[in-house]
Amino acid sequence: MVWTKLSIDTTVEAVDILSAFLDEKGVEGIMIEDNVPLTEEEKKAMFVDIPLVNGEDDGTAKVSCFIDESFDIDTLKADIVAELTRLSAFLPVGSMNITLSNTEDKDWINNWKQFFKPFRLYDNIVIKPTWEELEDVKKDDIVVEIDPGIAFGTGSHETTRLCIGQLKKYLKNNDSVFDVGSGSGILSIISIFLGAGFVHGMDIDEVAVRASLENREFNHIGEDKLVFTCGNLLDESRGKSDIEKALSVNGGKKYDIVVANILADVIIPLSGVVRPLIKENGYFITSGIIDMKEEEVKEALVKNGFEIVDVVHMNDWVSIIAK
């Protein structure tokens, strides 16, 4: 199917009303582009390790949507112009310029799957996309079925590989594991296959939690062994509720291992929060740390009562293991 991308040049003030108008017309999915600076709350929620670049906020905005063949494009354009003209009596609506372009339907959500193929890690761990067939299987292979959806975590990134390697090294049979920022659930699932007795995965994103639950089913793991919840250990507005939930999920007991494959700027404050969740002589396995922030993370860990026992590098990324 060929879709028509319809883009409207307008203002930030008109965006909400225009979006609601398009929704009433049956348009599904609206993209908004503007230069409004992100709030501090929004920046914290994004957890990025790159600078957020905004242009100068000049009050302009572009509202875009994709229209299928069921729409009469000329009629929709006329309706949009009429609505913006009506609104112009009350607020600035911008140039009202409308541009059209065509694009083929390539199944945008699933198109990336053609690049995600089965691959082997550490000799016997095989990451297998759920839609792929696996031919080269050895007797002692651990085959992990994964469909990350739009959640983070296929196992191919250096940070995830580092965590998997450290779980193989430090995880003992029947250990309890808390996977903070569990994404697609790949580290949680691998922990079960490596012998963990119980694993709790937590992510701030409900979409990621849903993907994790599906991946748990793909790998035939029961909820008595693996639990996923939505929460944010660093959300001070929630008090200690998510921290308490982390313990209650494990029957009120501390964990043998906490693993966090996130980012340095999250791990630094997290190191002060998770220590009470870890047993004495338990391990905090961290990754997602860009090499330039290695020392900052080490300092935070030591400050919060950890002893650094292992540091592993892979290209520009670092995994730090603390006890």
- Looking at residue 97, its pLDDT comes to 93
Are 183 and 315 within one domain?
Answer: yes
Are 303 and 162 within one domain?
Answer: yes
Query: Is residue 99 assigned to a domain?
Result: yes
Are 86 and 179 within one domain?
Answer: no
Helix (H) or strand (E) holding 44: helix 40-46
Give the residue carrying structure tokens 């940070």: 159
Provide the residue-wise pLDDT of the chain in tens; the chain has 323 residues. Answer: 678 889 999 999 888 899 888 988 888 778 888 777 666 665 555 444 444 445 567 788 999 988 888 888 999 999 999 999 999 998 999 999 999 988 765 555 555 555 555 566 667 777 776 666 667 777 787 776 776 554 454 545 678 888 888 999 999 999 999 999 988 888 998 899 889 999 999 998 888 898 889 888 888 889 999 999 998 998 877 657 888 888 888 899 999 999 999 889 899 999 999 999 999 999 999 998 888 999 999 999 999 999 999 999 988 889 999 99
- Looking at residue 186, its pLDDT comes to 87
Residue 20: give the domain boundaries: 2-104
CATH of the domain at 264: 3.40.50.150
Give the residue carrying structure tokens 């053609």: 114
Are 78 and 173 within one domain?
Answer: no
Distance CA 307, CA 317 (A): 20
- Looking at residue 173, its pLDDT comes to 95
Query: Is residue 140 assigned to a domain?
Result: no
CATH of the domain at 11: 3.30.70.120
Are 97 and 162 within one domain?
Answer: no
- Looking at residue 191, its pLDDT comes to 93
Distance CA 173, CA 189 (A): 14
Are 66 and 182 within one domain?
Answer: no
Q: Coil, helix or strand for 6? A: strand
End residue of a domain, out of 85, 104, 123: 104
Distance CA 56, CA 35 (A): 6
Domain count, the chain: 2
Are 202 and 59 within one domain?
Answer: no
Residue 78 main-chain phi, psi, to 5 deg: -60, -40
The distance from CA 14 to its chain's CA centroid, rounded to whole angstroms, is 31
- Looking at residue 242, its pLDDT comes to 84
Are 99 and 179 within one domain?
Answer: no
Give the residue carrying structure tokens 């490596």: 194
Query: Is residue 265 assigned to a domain?
Result: yes
Enter the tokens of residue 108. 């945008």
Query: Is residue 110 assigned to a domain?
Result: no
